[in-house]
Structures are given as structure tokens and as C-alpha cells.
């Protein structure tokens, strides 16, 4: 067999692969070229004075500080952070985690005046940065610097509200730079405490060089700040969202849920997330489902996953308005049933805490409870954990509960009279997939005693079997993943096989996300797009001008809902998964264009099309008989002329680009482009083998024989790099046997001849 390296070189020399310049992933630096308009902007930072003492710096910085307080829905104070004025018109910079999500925030100026927060001017989740707009003018603003010129060892000063102590100051030095989650942070030799977050880090000239972000968990005298250069893109390219919409972003529907005792409960992709300690004893917090409570006997179930098994989170049932309820939840890797009969630990009765082999630490687990008149039964993953007589609590409210500083996810919360799992798959079918050793429960009582008597040797043997089972478990998980991806691939092929007008672009895009996220509830994201479209449609009543309708669409997405292009971490899969783009309001040109097109379609706006620039993607409004209008959705829906678009495309293609008269992208082409991005990003980050599932998907969906041949050639390259020479040859043979007329086959035939004739 021909060596893998030789095969790779030969495939590369064929030059028949995809033109990666059409993919957003082609720019390996992950830095977007500036737009034609943005490239003409200059710096507006004034020169700063030199060499202030710490006392002088305090006097200069203090008037620009803002105290930011977050409150729970019940009005209880939850935390204090810091912000600072960066523009006299009322722009305040801080850390995004200070603002939180779906929580009211109060801003108090250095003068003592409390001002209204009008909304977010810009935000970036990955960099943990936010710019608030407050209802105040003529504020004293700090100057933003260039941290790249700040030398290690330079003296710096931080101001903020550590532990609620307002306008505190601490001096130190820049002790280094460290990268966390692909973000370079400024490492500070100074004590940082809660409340400092979001405050300015200034140099001795009073210029801001960073935004205080976190304290070190290792030592008291070490902290970190986000470099100020990451704040500049938010200033230059905002993604505003009004305050009323922001506090509803990820907020639970108050008609369905009500939270008690704090913590941060949010919705995401149809599920519920909770993080942070509650205000109750032991960090307890809970969430009640609103509406008519069920009558006994009833059942309630949910799937839960904990970030830390030392925490606890699970089902609440038998509850009432006084905060009394039962709880069934995992804690410390075991299952616990508790009667919470008051606010203190002395009022709690732990009815049982037991391990159960059906529980899967660190994974999703299905909890189910049946609450009868005088009996409680509890299951985890179908295995019964508790069955006991208990009727002390008479309430009927149901919901979710969490304890300590746990972060947990919930999904598929249900209640009803009988929620028993469906009849399992036939045992003989499962047996055909099982190759591991038999369980100990199949042994006789005598054999089990023998094993116990020789425990040291048995433990060694069991450890070896455990390693075998781990390999088998990995194989079964991979099998489940493959079956899932095949099903999604078939669904996507069927969707794209329809006529252009019959393809549901939103659904097809969400199938791409489902390919990577087997547990994704795509109906929740589809409902979000539909709801936005209907909201916008209502606003457009009585407006006849098509161009004016498009302006309303731009304003709705980019001014009111905060959608924006990813400013860094460009290749993060979240930017290519529409459900996460909808949640985070951040994406690539292609995914933001799809949001624009699908919301616009559901709002009744016609003649919107995608424009497939090399390395970028635009949308255009092209009503018959009228001039086209181009929009760069990656840049907040900025209108472009064809000349602007040509220049933008040329920055990627390195050759002249003509957008006037360019054929609009079909829905299939948009999906292919999305998957191509995912393949390119994955290969770059994790190697050829991990990108093969996307190559398989591309081969299935490209649609045209010529394109399929090119995709198979590219998959042959990936297979060869992954060590699958046989698979690479299968793709090359398919091209020889099936490729359309005119395809250059001779180099591929020569390649196959060399492979089959080489005895290695």
C-alpha cells in the first residue's frame, strides 16, 4: 500500500479540492478584514498627562466610577460591581458577568445620583465585556489606551467596589500575560476581590489599560484584567439591545415559572439553567411551576446534569406557598429524598440518601417521582431508588430545586398521571450490540461468596474488566453518535431535495446544529424565529415601502436585539449553530444572514437574498425593477454599495470581485457553506479525523455530481490524513467511476494505479 504521506501529497497536487476562499474559515488568522468604511476611521484618543501619584490618580478616576448593583426578582440585593464612564453621552464599560442576564441592574454615579439603565450598547460573552447606556449626559469619561504597549512590570492602579466598599483603590504591577479560553488576560500583582469586577485598570498616566475581571483562586495578591483592546471593537461596532429586552433575554416565562431564594435561573435552547448560590440555608433556591397544581396521584420528571457532583439539584414536589416541599435530587454522586419543612437545616428531614448504579455522574440523568396520597416513589434512569409511606407535606406544587454553589442544567420537565418510561428496545436487539463481560448478578450465591473471600485478586480482575468495559462504552457512545448523525443527515438530505421554495431554511439550519447536539430541541429555536417574525410583522402593518420594511428588520435585529458579528474566537462552533446564535446574538456572516432572511421571511418581507462573497456573506434586497440594496449583517446591517462589497470580497479573494449581477445563493448552497465552515474550523483545531463527520455530511448534501466529486476528493484527503487509506481509495474510485464528463480523471487514475500496485 502506498504510504500515507505520498498519497496526501498526490491528492494535494491534483488541485481539485474545494475553493476554501469561499469559506469564512479560510482566514486562518481569525481576524476579519476591516470594512471599507471602518478602515478609514482614525483614533480619537487624546494624549494623556504623565506620571500621577496614586492619590492624584484617585482624584482623576473617581468621578468616572459607577456602582452597579444587581437585584433578584424579589428585590433582594445580590451583588455589587463596578463600571466606568467611557463616553460623556452615557456609555459605561464593565464586565458582562457584573451585569448578568435577565436581572435588573442599578447604576449609581460618583455624584451619588442613581440613573436609569437604558440598555446595553454592546456586549461580548466570550470576552466577558459589556457597555451600558445610562440616562445621563456630560459625564466625565476616562481615556482608553493601548495595552499592547504596557510592559511587564509597569505600575498600574485599580479602582472599584471590592466587597461593597465603594471607591477603594489598590496599586500593583503588571506581572505577566496569561491566556484563558483563547483570551489573553493581564496578570496583576495586586489583591482583587468581588466588587472590583468591571472596574478600570489604569496606568500612571490615568489611561485605562484593562477591565478588572477576576481574582486568583491560588493567592490573595493576584488578579486578572481583560485587555482594553478587546473593548475597542464594542465601542466601534456596537450591538445595542434595550434594557427591557435585555432583562427578558434568557428570562423564564413568568406565566410558567416563579423563582424563590435567588440564584440565576435562565432558559437556553428550550431547557433551564441555574447557577450561583441561593439565599436559603445551604445555598438553597427553588423554582415553582405556575398554573393549576396536579392532583394526587401525579408524577413529575426531569432530566438533570450537574457541573459538580458535590452540588445538588433536582425535582421539587408536594410544595406550597410557604416554601415547604419535598426534594429528590443527586448529591455527592448519590440520590437523596428530603422533606423541607422550614427555612433552616433543623427543619429538614432527610428521608434517605443512597447510591444507585443507574446514576451516571457528570452525565444527564432522568429523575422521576410518583406522589400518591400517602406514598412517594422515586426513580433514576428507570431504576427505583425510594418507595416509602410519607404524607407529612400536603402541598401539590411542583418544580425544580438546587443547593450550594451548583451550576445545573434541566430539560424535558413534565408532569402527568403516568410518566413511566416507554417499553424498552427488544433485549435481543441490545444483545446484538453488547460484547462486554456478564454482570456479577448472574453468578450463584456460592460463587459470589468465593469472590468476596478473595477480594484482592478479585479487585485486580475487576479493574481489568472495567478497562474493557470503558473501551466498549466508548464504542457504544460512538455507535449512538453515528446512528444519530446518519438520521440527521437523511433528514437534511430530504429537506434539501425539495424545490427551492419548499425548503425551510430555518429548519435545515437547525438540523446542522442537531447534527452536533443530539439533545437539541430544535422546535424551541424555530418558535423563537417565528415569534420574532410575527412581532415584526405586526409592526409593519400599514407600511407599503419594501425598503422601509427592510430598515425596520435591520433595526429590530441589530438595534433592539443585539445581534452582532463574532469579534474573536471566530471559529467557535457556537457561531455556526443557529440555536446558539439565537441565544447569544453572535455569529458568522452566513449564520447572521440566515437569521436575517428567516426572520424577514416570517415577517412577510419579500425579495431578500443571500450574496455569497468569497470569505464573507451579505444579504441583499432586490425587488424586481428596482436597484438592489446590499447589507453587511456581520457589521450590524450596514448598507453597502456594490463598490464597497467588491472591495470587501476582494480582501478575501485577492482578485477583483464583481457583486453587481452576482447570482444569489440558494438555500442548499448556504447550508453547504455552513457545514464547510464547521469542517474547516474543526480540522484546523482538532485534526483531520475529527472533521470527517462534516465531510460525510457535505458529500451527502452538495447535490450536483461535479460538486460531489470535489467533496469526495477533499474527503479522500482527510481520510488519508486520518490514516484511512482504504476509505481514501474508495472516494477516489467513486470519482473515476461516477464523475461527470469533463472532470479531470487521469491524475486520479494514476494515483489509484500507484496505490494498488504498491505492495506496502
Summarised one tens digit per residue, pLDDT across range 722-741 is 888 889 889 999 998 887 78
307 domain-assigned:
yes
Average pLDDT over residues 571-595: 94
Cβ-Cβ contacts under 8 Å for 209 (sequence gap 6 or more): 145, 147, 150, 156, 186, 201, 202, 203, 225, 227, 228
Say what the pLDDT of residue 677 is: 95
CATH (domain of 163): 2.40.10.120
| Domain range enclosing 101 | 54-236
Instruction: Quote the CA–CA distance of 438 and 458 in Å, as a whole number.
Output: 15
589 domain-assigned:
yes
Bridge-based pairing state of the strands 325-331 and 334-340: antiparallel
Say what the pLDDT of residue 104 is: 74
Average pLDDT over residues 554-571: 90
Say what the pLDDT of residue 343 is: 87
Average pLDDT over residues 547-551: 93
Instruction: Quote the CA–CA distance of 347 and 350 in Å, as a whole number.
Output: 10
Q: All 3 cell numbers of residue 572? A: 467557535
Say what the pLDDT of residue 69 is: 83
Q: What is the DSSP letter of 711?
A: H
579 domain-assigned:
yes
Lowest mean pLDDT among 166-175, 282-291, 372-381, 571-580: 166-175
Average pLDDT over residues 394-408: 92
For residue 546, what are the CA distances in angstroms to 224, 541, 552, 624, 663? 50, 12, 10, 11, 21
687 domain-assigned:
no
If one counts the domains in the chain, the total is 5
Task: Identify whether the C-beta of residue 380 lies closer than 8 Å to the C-beta of residue 263.
Answer: no
Same domain for 187 and 116?
A: yes
Same domain for 430 and 408?
A: no
- Choice between 155 and 567, residue whose per-residue pLDDT is larger: 155
CATH (domain of 274): 2.60.120.560
484 domain-assigned:
no
Same domain for 526 and 658?
A: yes
pLDDT for residue 495 is more than 60: yes
Instruction: Give the 3-state secondary structure of residue 213.
Output: strand
Q: All 3 cell numbers of residue 59? A: 482624584
For residue 258, what are the CA distances in angstroms to 95, 251, 272, 316, 323? 27, 11, 13, 13, 12
Q: Compute the chain's Rg from CA coordinates.
A: 30
Confidence at 619, pLDDT banded by 50, 70, 90: very high
pLDDT in tens, 279-306: 888 889 999 999 888 899 999 999 999 9
Say what the pLDDT of residue 262 is: 84
Confidence at 45, pLDDT banded by 50, 70, 90: very low
Average pLDDT over residues 178-182: 80
Confidence at 526, pLDDT banded by 50, 70, 90: very high
pLDDT in tens, 316-360: 999 998 999 999 999 989 999 999 999 888 889 999 999 998 898
pLDDT for residue 459 is more than 70: no
Say what the pLDDT of residue 567 is: 79
For residue 723, how many other CB atoms are within 10 A of its CB?
Answer: 12
Task: Identify whether the C-beta of residue 695 lies closer than 8 Å to the C-beta of residue 715.
Answer: yes
Say what the pLDDT of residue 169 is: 85
Task: Identify whether the C-beta of residue 182 lies closer than 8 Å to the C-beta of residue 681.
Answer: no
Bond preceding residue 523 cis, omega within 30 of 0: no
Instruction: Quote the CA–CA distance of 650 and 331 in Å, as a whole number.
Output: 57
Lowest mean pLDDT among 25-39, 87-101, 400-414, 458-472: 25-39
Say what the pLDDT of residue 10 is: 54
Strand partners, 334: 331
Q: How many residues does the chain have?
A: 760
CA angle 537/540/545 to nearest 5° reads 130
Kindly state the percentage of the chain with pLDDT values over 90: 52
Predicted model pTM: 0.74
Say what the pLDDT of residue 598 is: 97
678 domain-assigned:
no
As a dihedral over the C-alpha atoms of residue 309, residue 312, residue 314, residue 320, rounded to 10 degrees, the angle is 180
Same domain for 311 and 406?
A: yes
Sheet containing strand 629-632, edge to edge, reads 608-611, 618-621, 629-632, 638-640
Average pLDDT over residues 657-669: 91
Same domain for 386 and 291?
A: yes
Say what the pLDDT of residue 451 is: 57
Instruction: Quote the CA–CA distance of 281 and 283 in Å, as a whole number.
Output: 5
pLDDT for residue 16 is more than 70: no
pLDDT for residue 485 is more than 90: yes
Task: Identify whether the C-beta of residue 271 lies closer than 8 Å to the C-beta of residue 334.
Answer: no
Taking every pair of Cα atoms in the chain, the longest distance, rounded to a whole number of angstroms, is: 90
Mean pLDDT over the full length of the chain: 84
Average pLDDT over residues 642-650: 89
Confidence at 106, pLDDT banded by 50, 70, 90: confident
Average pLDDT over residues 43-47: 40
680 domain-assigned:
no
Same domain for 502 and 544?
A: yes
Instruction: Quote the CA–CA distance of 218 and 185 in Å, as a whole number.
Output: 16
Same domain for 117 and 173?
A: yes
Same domain for 223 and 327?
A: no
Sheet containing strand 271-278, edge to edge, reads 262-268, 271-278, 408-416, 298-306, 365-371, 375-380, 383-389
- Choice between 30 and 612, residue whose per-residue pLDDT is larger: 612
Instruction: Quote the CA–CA distance of 232 and 124 in Å, as a whole number.
Output: 11
pLDDT for residue 29 is more than 60: no
Confidence at 278, pLDDT banded by 50, 70, 90: confident
Same domain for 340 and 223?
A: no
Same domain for 471 and 570?
A: no
Q: Closest Cα partner for 370 from 424, 288, 293, 301?
A: 301
**Sole residue written with cell 446514576:** 359
Confidence at 227, pLDDT banded by 50, 70, 90: very high
Instruction: Quote the CA–CA distance of 575 and 583 in Å, as a whole number.
Output: 11
Same domain for 222 and 347?
A: no
Instruction: Quote the CA–CA distance of 381 and 378 in Å, as a whole number.
Output: 10
Lowest mean pLDDT among 315-324, 469-478, 640-649: 469-478
Average pLDDT over residues 521-531: 94
272 domain-assigned:
yes
Q: Closest Cα partner for 192 from 166, 209, 172, 176?
A: 172
Cβ-Cβ contacts under 8 Å for 502 (sequence gap 6 or more): none
Say what the pLDDT of residue 125 is: 86
Say what the pLDDT of residue 102 is: 56
Q: What is the DSSP letter of 252?
A: P
Average pLDDT over residues 116-120: 89
Instruction: Quote the CA–CA distance of 145 and 417 in Å, as a whole number.
Output: 63
Lowest mean pLDDT among 160-164, 238-242, 498-502: 160-164
Average pLDDT over residues 419-432: 50
CATH (domain of 641): 3.10.620
As a dihedral over the C-alpha atoms of residue 228, residue 232, residue 238, residue 244, rounded to 10 degrees, the angle is 20
Confidence at 32, pLDDT banded by 50, 70, 90: very low
Say what the pLDDT of residue 26 is: 42
pLDDT for residue 37 is more than 50: no
- Residue 56: enclosing H or E segment and its boundaries? helix 54-61
Q: Closest Cα partner for 84 from 231, 297, 189?
A: 231
Say what the pLDDT of residue 746 is: 84
pLDDT for residue 44 is more than 60: no
pLDDT for residue 464 is more than 90: no
CA angle 271/273/275 to nearest 5° reads 175
Same domain for 611 and 506?
A: yes
Confidence at 73, pLDDT banded by 50, 70, 90: very low
Amino acid at each position: 500500500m502506498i504510504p500515507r504521506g505520498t498519497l496526501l501529497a498526490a491528492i494535494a497536487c491534483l488541485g481539485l479540492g474545494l475553493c476554501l476562499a469561499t469559506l469564512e474559515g479560510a482566514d486562518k488568522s481569525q481576524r476579519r478584514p476591516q470594512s471599507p468604511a471602518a478602515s478609514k476611521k482614525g483614533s480619537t484618543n487624546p494624549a494623556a498627562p504623565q506620571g500621577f501619584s496614586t492619590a492624584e490618580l484617585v482624584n482623576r478616576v473617581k468621578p468616572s466610577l459607577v456602582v452597579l448593583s444587581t437585584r433578584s426578582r424579589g428585590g433582594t440585593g445580590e451583588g455589587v460591581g463596578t463600571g466606568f464612564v467611557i463616553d460623556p453621552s452615557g456609555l459605561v464599560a464593565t464586565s458582562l458577568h457584573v451585569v448578568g442576564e435577565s436581572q435588573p441592574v442599578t447604576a449609581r454615579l460618583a455624584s451619588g445620583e442613581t440613573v436609569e439603565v437604558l440598555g446595553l450598547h454592546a456586549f461580548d460573552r466570550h470576552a466577558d465585556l459589556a457597555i451600558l447606556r445610562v440616562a445621563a449626559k456630560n459625564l466625565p469619561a476616562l481615556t482608553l489606551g493601548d495595552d499592547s504597549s504596557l510592559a511587564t512590570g509597569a505600575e498600574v492602579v485599580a479602582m472599584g467596589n471590592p466587597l461593597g466598599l465603594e471607591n477603594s483603590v489598590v496599586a500593583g504591577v503588571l506581572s505577566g500575560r496569561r491566556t484563558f479560553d483563547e483570551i489573553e488576560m493581564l496578570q496583576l500583582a495586586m489583591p482583587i476581590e468581588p466588587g472590583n469586577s468591571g472596574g478600570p485598570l489604569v496606568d500612571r498616566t490615568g489611561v485605562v489599560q484593562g477591565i478588572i475581571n477576576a481574582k486568583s483562586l491560588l493567592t490573595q495578591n493576584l488578579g486578572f484584567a481583560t485587555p482594553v483592546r478587546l473593548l475597542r471593537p464594542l465601542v466601534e461596532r456596537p450591538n445595542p439591545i434595550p434594557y427591557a429586552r435585555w432583562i427578558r433575554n434568557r428570562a423564564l416565562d413568568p406565566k410558567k415559572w416563579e423563582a424563590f431564594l435567588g440564584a440565576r435561573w435562565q432558559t437556553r435552547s428550550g431547557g433551564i439553567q441555574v447557577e450561583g448560590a441561593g439565599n436559603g440555608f445551604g445555598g438553597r433556591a427553588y423554582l415553582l411551576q405556575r398554573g393549576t397544581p396536579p392532583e394526587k396521584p401525579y408524577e413529575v420528571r426531569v432530566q438533570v446534569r450537574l457541573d459538580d457532583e458535590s452540588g445538588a439539584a433536582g425535582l421539587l414536589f408536594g410544595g406550597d406557598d410557604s416554601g415547604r416541599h419535598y426534594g429528590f435530587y443527586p448529591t455527592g454522586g448519590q440520590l437523596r429524598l428530603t422533606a423541607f419543612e422550614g427555612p433552616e437545616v433543623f427543619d429538614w428531614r432527610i428521608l434517605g440518601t443512597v447510591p444507585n448504579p443507574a446514576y451516571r455522574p457528570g452525565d444527564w440523568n432522568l429523575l422521576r417521582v410518583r406522589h400518591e396520597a400517602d406514598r412517594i416513589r422515586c426513580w433514576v434512569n428507570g431504576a427505583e431508588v425510594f418507595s416509602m409511606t410519607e404524607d407529612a407535606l400536603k402541598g401539590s406544587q411542583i418544580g425544580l430545586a438546587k443547593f450550594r454553589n451548583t451550576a445545573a442544567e434541566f430539560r424535558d420537565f413534565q408532569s402527568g398521571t403516568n410518566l413511566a418510561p416507554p417499553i424498552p428496545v427488544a433485549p435481543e436487539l441490545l444483545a446484538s450490540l453488547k460484547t462486554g463481560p456478564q454482570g456479577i448478578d448472574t453468578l450463584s450465591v456460592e460463587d459470589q461468596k468465593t469472590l468476596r473471600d478473595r477480594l484482592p485478586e478479585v479487585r485486580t480482575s475487576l479493574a481489568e474488566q472495567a478497562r474493557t468495559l470503558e473501551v466498549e462504552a466508548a464504542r457504544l457512545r460512538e455507535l449512538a453518535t453515528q446512528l444519530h448523525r446518519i438520521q440527521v443527515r437523511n433528514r437534511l438530505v430530504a429537506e434539501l431535495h425539495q424545490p427551492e421554495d419548499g425548503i425551510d431554511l430555518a429548519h435545515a439550519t437547525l438540523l446542522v446544529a442537531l447534527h452536533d447536539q443530539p439533545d437539541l430541541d430544535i422546535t424551541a429555536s424555530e418558535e423563537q424565529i417565528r415569534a420574532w417574525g410575527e412581532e415584526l410583522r405586526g409592526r409593519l402593518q400599514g407600511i407599503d415601502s419594501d425598503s422601509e420594511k427592510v430598515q425596520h428588520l435591520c433595526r429590530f435585529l441589530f438595534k433592539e436585539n443585539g445581534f452582532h458579528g463574532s469579534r474573536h474566537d471566530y471559529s467557535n462552533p457556537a457561531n455556526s449553530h443557529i440555536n446558539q446564535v439565537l441565544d447569544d446574538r453572535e455569529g458568522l456572516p452566513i449564520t447572521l444572514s440566515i437569521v436575517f432572511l428567516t426572520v424577514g421571511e416570517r415577517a412577510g418581507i419579500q425579495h431578500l437574498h443571500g450574496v455569497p462573497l468569497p470569505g464573507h456573506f451579505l444579504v441583499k434586497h432586490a425587488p424586481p425593477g428596482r436597484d438592489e440594496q446590499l447589507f453587511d449583517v456581520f457589521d450590524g446591517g450596514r448598507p453597502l454599495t456594490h463598490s464597497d462589497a467588491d472591495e470587501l470580497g476582494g480582501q478575501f479573494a485577492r482578485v477583483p470581485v464583481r457583486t453587481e449581477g452576482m447570482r444569489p445563493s440558494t438555500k442548499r448552497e448556504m447550508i453547504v457553506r455552513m457545514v464547510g465552515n464547521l469542517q474547516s474550523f474543526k480540522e484546523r483545531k482538532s485534526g483531520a479525523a475529527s472533521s470527517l463527520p462534516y465531510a460525510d455530511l457535505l458529500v451527502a448534501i452538495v447535490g450536483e455530481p461535479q460538486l460531489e466529486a470535489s467533496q469526495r476528493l477533499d474527503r479522500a484527503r482527510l481520510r488519508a490524513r486520518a490514516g484511512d487509506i482504504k476509505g481514501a481509495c474508495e472516494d477516489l474510485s467513486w470519482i473515476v467511476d461516477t464523475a461527470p464528463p469533463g472532470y479531470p480523471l487521469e491524475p486520479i487514475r494514476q494515483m489509484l494505479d500507484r496505490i494498488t500496485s504498491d505492495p506496502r
